[in-house]
Amino acid sequence: MVIRIVIGVSAVGVLALVLWFTLSCQLTVRRLARSMRQQRALAFERESRHRPVRPEDRLPDSEQAALDAVWRELEGHSARALGQVVELKSDGTSAGIAHWFAADPSTAYGWIGMVGQVPLRRPVMVLFSHANDGQFAVTRWGIDSVGALASGPSIHRLMLSSKTPIGEVLRQHNELATRVSPGSLRQVSELDGALAGRLELTDTRLAWRAQQPEQALLEADVRGILLVSRFVIDVNAARPS
């Protein structure tokens, strides 16, 4: 009798584990599918629209404190503020405030902001560097849950967990940028230059995607979304042949 009870309890435990795993997989697939649909819907928008920050755009105190903590770390590594803009969604509503900055050296620049749904909003950062030969280095910090659409062989991406210290993020980004195109990186020292650099990156991505067969591009996008990692993604491995 005792043996039967133990076996029964074990069977229930295994069944519960299987059900939990199945549900987890379903939720993960749904989340990735939703992310891919959203990213693909935005994939052909050339320019991120933005406007000046207004008093009503003020963040809640808790979110501002979280963002200030990241900024203090950046300042500790000689980052310089370039300005703030409100990024706009396709319908014209606010997507949040982007705080743009230039890092040391000034060949690295980027933005920090808050993303996510209340009450789980969190700070994220994106760093850019671009070279005169058309190569780009892009580092995403804190955007841990999803990957990115295929962008082509000239855009080199690095994705780092929010647990990575800011100093290490800057070091790894500069290392990637130097490896991508040593000696020819452009310097950015003002907000207009940073926004122009992001636009040039977008144009490069759109031009490459427009040249790819649809089925091959879809497969590359699926691989890109699934390739969430803490190391440099080999974009050539995800490139349609």
Same-domain check for residues 71 and 175: yes
Q: Does 121 share its domain with 191?
A: yes
Dump pLDDT digits (tens) for 182-212.
778 999 999 999 999 999 999 999 999 999 9
Q: What is the pLDDT of residues 99-117, one digit of tens each?
A: 999 998 789 999 999 988 7
Q: Examine the domain organization and report whether 36 and 57 are in the same domain.
A: no
What is the count of structural domains for the chain? 2
- On whether both 189 and 213 belong to a single domain, the answer is yes
Q: Are residues 27 and 70 in the same domain?
A: no
Q: Would you state the pLDDT for residue 105?
A: 79
pLDDT value of residue 218: 87
pTM of the model: 0.75
Q: Do 37 and 80 fall into the same domain? A: no
- Are 96 and 198 found together in one domain? yes
* Same domain assignment for residues 61 and 120: yes
- Report CA torsion sign: 162, 163, 168, 174: negative
144: which DSSP letter?
-
Helix (H) or strand (E) holding 174: helix 166-180
Q: Which two tokens stand for residue 32?
A: 């990735």
Q: What is the mean pLDDT of each run of 10 residues along the chain (241 residues)?
A: 52 50 46 51 60 91 94 95 91 89 91 86 94 93 75 91 94 93 87 94 92 90 67 38 36
Q: Which two tokens stand for residue 216?
A: 């091959």
84 and 13 inside one domain:
no
CB 52 within 8 A of CB 85: yes
Enclosing domain of residue 34:
1-42
Quick one: pLDDT at residue 23? 47
Residues 174 and 140 in one domain: yes
Based on the fold, state whether residues 119 and 18 are members of the same structural domain: no
Residues 27 and 101 in one domain: no
